[in-house]
Amino acid sequence: MNLPTYLAPFRPRIVPALKNYTRERFGKDVGAGLTVGIVALPLAMAFAIASGLLPQAGIWTAIIAGGLISLLGGSAVQIGGPAGAFIVIVYGIVGRYGLPNLLISTACAGVLLFLLGFLKMGTLVRYVPVSIVVGFTNGIAVLIALSQLKDLLGLQIGKMPADFFSQIKAISLNIDSLNAHALGLGLLCFIGLILWPKLFVSRSMTANGFTARLISRIQAVEGVQLLRATRAVSRVPGPIVALTTLTAFSWLLTLPVETICSRFGGIPQALPDFALPAFSWDTVRLLLPPTLTIAMLGAVESLLCARVADQLSGLPKHDPNQELMAQGVANFIVPFFGGMPATGTIARTVTNVRSGASSPIAGLVHALMLVVIVLAAAPLAMHVPLAVLAVLAVLAGILLHVAWNMGEWREFAQMRQYSNHYRLLMLGTFFLTVVFDLTVALQVGLLLACVLFVRRMSSLFQVVETARTDDSVNFQLYGSLFFGAVAKIDPVLSVVESAPQGLLVRLDAQSLQSLDASGLDVLGQLHKAVTLRGGRLVISGLNAQPRAVMERSGFLAKMEAA
C-alpha cells in the first residue's frame, strides 16, 4: 500500500536492524540491556516519587513504555522511559487535576505524538530555538533540585506544593525538622555520584603523578589481576553503587530515615492490571494545556536524545517520524497500566551505547530485566532510603549531570557572546519555567520567538530610492516583503501621493526574495494609488517565488492591462 507523500510509513528500526544479525551482536545487546535495566530501576522509582506518584508507576513505565519505544522506535539504541524533565510537569498536573486526569492527559499526548510522526512533522521539532530548549531545561533542573529538598533534608512536610514560591515557603517553615541522617545519606550519594567515574584508571588520570604511582604500586604488590578487577568494578554504574551501598549502610545501622516501605508500603510483586480511566470530551478540553506540554516536551526530549545517540553510536541516523510514532504508542498505552509520561532518556541511552548496544534488542532486554526485578526482587526495595533516591532525583537521575556536561549551564556565563534576542529568549524561558510552569514558559517562549523572528526578518527588508526625475521615480526592493515588513512600503506611497499626475513608479525587484499575501496586498494598494493619479507602476526583475504569487493572484495581468 502506497501512502501519500505527506504521510510517514510505519517502519520500526528493529526490522532492518535484525538483518544480518549475528550472535556476537546479540551478546553485546544482552549485556547492554542488562546493564541499562539495572541502572533504570533506581531512576524509575526516583522519578515517580519525585513526581508525586507511587514508585511502581515509574517501574511500570520503564517496562511498558521502554519496551514499546525500543520495539517500534526509529532509533537503534535509544532507551525510553520516565524522565527527569517530566517531574515538574507531572507533579503540577497531579496537584492541579488529579491522578486520573494525568492518565487521560498522557494518553491524549500519545495521540498527538503519533499524529506528529505520521504527518511527517518530526523535523519541525528541530525548529524550536536552542535558546528556549536551554532556558526550560535549566529551569526544570532548578525546580527538580528545589522539589527534592524535602526528602534530601528529611523535612516533615506532608505534601510539597507545586509552585516555586510555595515550595520555598514550605521548606523555610519546616527547616527545623531537618533530619541529619537523611542529609548525610544524601550528601554521600551526591558526592559519590560525582567522584565514582573519577576513582579509577583513565588516560586523563594516569597523567597525574599520584595516580600513576598508586597504580604502579598496585601492580607491584598485588599484580595485574587486582588492577583488572579494579577496572571491572569501575564499569558498574554509579547509581547502582550508591543505591546498594547506602541502602545496606542505612539498614545495618537502622538509621531513622524514611524508606520505600515506610512511606509507600513497598512495591507490589506483580505486573500492573489494565484499567480504563474515566473519559469525557469535557475533560479532554480541560486538559488541553497539560496535554500539549507533555506532547511538546516528549517530542523535544526524545528527538534530542536520539540525536545524541546518533553521534555517540555511529549507527545509521534515527528516523524522527518513526520515533515520534513509537513515543505516541507508548504514551497512549502506558496510562492504562497506571504509568506516567515517557520519552527518550539521555542517561540510560548513553549507558546503553557505551555498554556496546547495536540494535533495539538491548532496549527490549532492559525492559525484560526490569520485569524480572519486579517479580523476583521487589521485597528488597522496601529498604531503599528515600534520601538516596532524592539525591538521584536532584541530579534528575544523572539528567542534570549530563545536562551540565553538555554545557547548558555554561550558556549563562557566555551570554555576552550572543544577541539580545537570544538572551531574552533564554532568560525569559528560564524564569517563566521557574516562577510559573513549563506550559507558560513554552507558550510564551515560542510566541516571543515568533515575534522576535518577525521583527528581525522585517528589519532585513529595505526599500531604497535609486533615482528620481520630474516624471519618474525608481526604487530597489531588498529582502522579503511579508506581513511584518509591509509598513516599509509607506515611503513609496508618500512619494506617489505628493507627486504630480502621471508619475511612473519603477520597482526593481531583483533582490526581492519572497512575497506573501500581505506584501501582495500592499503592492496592490500602491498600484491603485499610482493609477488613480494617471501614473503607471512597473515591477521588473522578479524572482520565481514573487512572480508565481503575482501570477496566481492575477496581479501581473492587472498591471499589464493598465
532 by Cβ neighbours in 10 Å (0-12 / 13-18 / 19+) ranks as exposed
Residue 221 lies in a domain: no
Nearest to 262 by CA among 387, 382, 101, 97: 382
pLDDT in tens, 50-105: 788 888 899 999 999 999 999 999 999 999 999 877 887 888 888 888 888 999 99
Residue 228 lies in a domain: no
Which of 15-24, 73-82, 422-431, 473-482 bottoms out in mean pLDDT, i.e. has the lowest? 422-431
pLDDT in tens, 192-229: 777 776 766 444 444 455 555 554 554 555 555 555 55
Query: Do 449 and 510 lie in a common domain?
Result: no
For residues 474-490, give the mean pLDDT. Answer: 91
Residue 276 lies in a domain: yes
Q: What average pLDDT does the structure give for the chain?
A: 80
Taking a C-beta distance cutoff of 8 angstroms, is the pair 125, 299 a contact?
yes
For residues 119-134, give the mean pLDDT. Answer: 78
The helix/strand/coil state of 509 is strand
Nearest to 356 by CA among 31, 70, 22: 31
- The band of 390, judged by pLDDT with boundaries at 50, 70 and 90, is very low
Euclidean distance between CA atoms 303 and 307, whole angstroms: 6
Query: Do 518 and 551 lie in a common domain?
Result: yes
What is the per-residue pLDDT for 351?
82
pLDDT at 413 over 90: no
| DSSP code per residue over 257-297 | --BHHHHH----SSPPPP-PPP--HHHHHHTHHHHHHHHHH
pLDDT in tens, 440-460: 777 788 888 888 888 888 888
Euclidean distance between CA atoms 317 and 125, whole angstroms: 16
What is the per-residue pLDDT for 75?
92
What is the per-residue pLDDT for 202?
47
Taking a C-beta distance cutoff of 8 angstroms, is the pair 96, 59 a contact?
no
Between the alpha carbon of residue 30 and those of residues 77, 237, 324, 365, 374, the distances in Å are: 12, 16, 25, 6, 19
Query: Do 75 and 189 lie in a common domain?
Result: yes
Percent residues over pLDDT 70 in the chain:
82
What is the per-residue pLDDT for 497?
84
**What is the grid cell recorded at 189?**
550519594
| DSSP for residue 463 | E
Domain boundary among 458, 475, 497: 458
Query: Do 302 and 443 lie in a common domain?
Result: no
What is the per-residue pLDDT for 400?
38
Domain boundary among 361, 376, 404: 404
pLDDT in tens, 254-274: 777 766 666 666 666 677 788
Euclidean distance between CA atoms 157 and 86, whole angstroms: 22
Residue 225 lies in a domain: no
What is the per-residue pLDDT for 212?
55
What is the per-residue pLDDT for 340?
94
| DSSP for residue 541 | S
The count of domains in the chain is: 3
**What is the grid cell recorded at 279?**
473519559
If one compares 413 and 292, the residue with the highest pLDDT of the two is 292
**What is the grid cell recorded at 497?**
501621493
Residue 219 lies in a domain: no
What is the per-residue pLDDT for 204?
41
What is the per-residue pLDDT for 164?
78
Q: What angle do CA 286, 291, 294 make, to 5 degrees?
A: 150
What is the per-residue pLDDT for 434?
80
For residues 282-286, give the mean pLDDT. Answer: 83
For residues 132-149, give the mean pLDDT. Answer: 75
Look up residue 522 and give its amino acid: V
**Domain region containing 447:** 410-458
95 by Cβ neighbours in 10 Å (0-12 / 13-18 / 19+) ranks as middle
Query: Do 465 and 450 lie in a common domain?
Result: no
Euclidean distance between CA atoms 376 and 378, whole angstroms: 6
What is the per-residue pLDDT for 562?
56
Query: Do 391 and 414 lie in a common domain?
Result: no
| DSSP code per residue over 327-343 | HHHHHHHGGGGT----E
If one compares 200 and 372, the residue with the highest pLDDT of the two is 372
pLDDT in tens, 170-191: 888 888 888 787 778 777 777 7
For residues 305-314, give the mean pLDDT. Answer: 82
Query: Do 291 and 370 lie in a common domain?
Result: yes
Query: Do 285 and 428 lie in a common domain?
Result: no
- The band of 411, judged by pLDDT with boundaries at 50, 70 and 90, is confident
For residues 538-561, give the mean pLDDT. Answer: 87
Query: Do 344 and 439 lie in a common domain?
Result: no
Residue 107 lies in a domain: yes
Query: Measured between alpha carbons, how far apart are the two ends of the chain, in Å?
Result: 52
Query: Do 51 and 187 lie in a common domain?
Result: yes
What is the per-residue pLDDT for 326?
96
439 by Cβ neighbours in 10 Å (0-12 / 13-18 / 19+) ranks as buried
What is the per-residue pLDDT for 322?
94
Query: Do 447 and 469 lie in a common domain?
Result: no
Chain Cα centroid distance, residue 390 = 22
- The band of 396, judged by pLDDT with boundaries at 50, 70 and 90, is very low
Domain boundary among 383, 404, 425: 404
- The stretches of 73-148 forming alpha helices (DSSP H) are 87-97, 99-118, 130-147
- The band of 475, judged by pLDDT with boundaries at 50, 70 and 90, is very high
What is the per-residue pLDDT for 263?
67
Residue 47 lies in a domain: yes
What is the per-residue pLDDT for 321?
93
Query: Do 190 and 307 lie in a common domain?
Result: yes
Residue 226 lies in a domain: no
Give the pairing of strands 462-468 and 472-481: antiparallel
- The band of 503, judged by pLDDT with boundaries at 50, 70 and 90, is confident
Euclidean distance between CA atoms 362 and 344, whole angstroms: 14
For residues 132-138, give the mean pLDDT. Answer: 77
CATH at 543: 3.30.750.24
